[in-house]
Amino acid sequence: MAQTSSLEINSKVPSPRVEMLKAMMSRFFQNKLAVFGGIFTFLLIFIALFAPFIVPYDPTAQNYSMILQGPSAEHWFGTDEIGRDVLSRVIYGAQVSLQAGLISVGIALAIGVPIGLISGYYRGFWDEFIIMRITDAMLSFPPLVLALALAAVLGAGLENAMIAIGIVLTPNFIRLIRSEVIAHREREYVEAGKASGLKDWRIISKHILPNTMAPIMVQATLAIASAIISEASLSYLGLGTQPPTASWGAMLSAGQGYLATAPWIALFPGLFIFLTVISINLFGDGIRDMLDPKLK
């Protein structure tokens, strides 16, 4: 009987992992700005995924009888200079922006994570005087200027713009991951792995990398916002998304000449760029504070 009661009591005691998860979620939901950022971000993802079922009109369809019509019940965000529905183009532009953000950051992670892990773990001449010097040289340029130069070399187009942005974001991940690895490589669990005869690649992949995931996640979230701004800027300058594909940056460029007569053409894509970037940054800050409140 006493043994049964002990088992019942132990079964009701939550595990430390569950308690830690509850504490993390509580910290996140106490941050109202982070909650707003998360809600808007996931709403935007939903809109982008289901854009074909949401848009009221074909975003590329031209209607010359509806040129430069202001916002109305028929066209909530108005129409542009060739009669296309601005709302439909803004919704499809969300697809392009999120695609550019995710793929660009994916490229940066694919390059930056292995280089950062290897350079931080082994260090030496090639790390200090080759990798870090190249990284410092790239970081010395304004990111948009470097992305513009790379996109000009690669050629106009969304794919090339994403490659250029991914390359520009890579040094940030290399430096972050390298510093995390250096901080972890002398700790007891790494020394214990070496003493037990584990190979370096196993120590890196099974012990060091999992302990660096929190800062990587935060950096990746914030980098998506940076990539969205860069894609919009390149598209604005004609080096990103090409017509007739809808892009917030290209819509801003097209609406620039109609600010006095049809400001809605540029207003709504600009507003969505602003809200998206702010929301992702707030969401990223919330994730940072949730994973490690000491970084707040």
Q: State yes or no: cis peptide before 114, omega within 30 of 0.
A: no
Average pLDDT over residues 19-42: 85
- Is 78 inside a domain boundary? no
For 134, the token pair is 């190249």
Q: What does the pLDDT read at residue 40? A: 95
Q: Which residues pair with 85 in a beta bridge?
A: 79
If phi > 0 it is left, if psi is from -120 to 50 it is alpha, else beta; for residue 155 that is left
Residue entry with tokens 């470097």: 146
pLDDT tens for 123-145 read: 777 777 788 888 989 999 999 99
Residues in the chain: 296
With a CB cutoff of 8 Å and minimum separation 6, the contacts of 71 are 77, 78, 264
Task: pLDDT band for 1, please (50, 70, 90 cuts).
Answer: very low
- Is 195 inside a domain boundary? yes
For 8, the token pair is 């019942």
Among residues 229, 260, 270, which one has the least CA distance to residue 77?
A: 270
We report the CATH number of the domain holding residue 135 as 1.10.3720.10
Q: What does the pLDDT read at residue 292? A: 66
pLDDT over 80 at 6, yes or no: no
Number of Cβ within a 10 Å radius of residue 124: 9
- Is 158 inside a domain boundary? yes
- Is 8 inside a domain boundary? no
- Is 240 inside a domain boundary? yes
More confident residue, 29 or 274: 274
Average pLDDT over residues 230-245: 91
- Is 250 inside a domain boundary? yes
Q: What does the pLDDT read at residue 25? A: 78
- Is 63 inside a domain boundary? no
pLDDT over 60 at 7, yes or no: no
What is the reported pTM?
A: 0.86
Separation CA 292–CA 296 (nearest Å): 8
Question: Total domain count for the chain?
Answer: 1
Q: What DSSP string runs through 253-282?
A: HHHGGGTTT-THHHHHHHHHHHHHHHHHHH
Lowest mean pLDDT, pick from 22-36, 137-151, 251-265: 22-36
pLDDT over 50 at 119, yes or no: yes
Q: What does the pLDDT read at residue 13? A: 55
Q: In whole angstroms, how far apart are CA 213 and each of 11, 181, 194?
A: 31, 11, 21
For 293, the token pair is 């409140």
Separation CA 189–CA 1 (nearest Å): 42
For the chain, the average pLDDT equals 87
Number of Cβ within a 10 Å radius of residue 284: 23
Q: What does the pLDDT read at residue 194? A: 76
Where does 155-212 have alpha helices with state H? 158-184, 188-195, 200-203, 209-211
pLDDT tens for 184-210 read: 877 777 777 777 777 878 888 888 888
Average pLDDT over residues 264-291: 91
For 214, the token pair is 């929190």
Task: pLDDT band for 4, please (50, 70, 90 cuts).
Answer: low
Give the side-chain half-sphere CA count within 13 A for 252. Answer: 21
pLDDT tens for 77-118 read: 999 999 999 999 999 999 999 999 999 999 999 999 999 998
User: The domain containing residue 218 runs over which residues?
Assistant: 18-49+87-295
For 100, the token pair is 């550019």
- Is 11 inside a domain boundary? no
Lowest mean pLDDT, pick from 12-21, 232-241, 255-264: 12-21
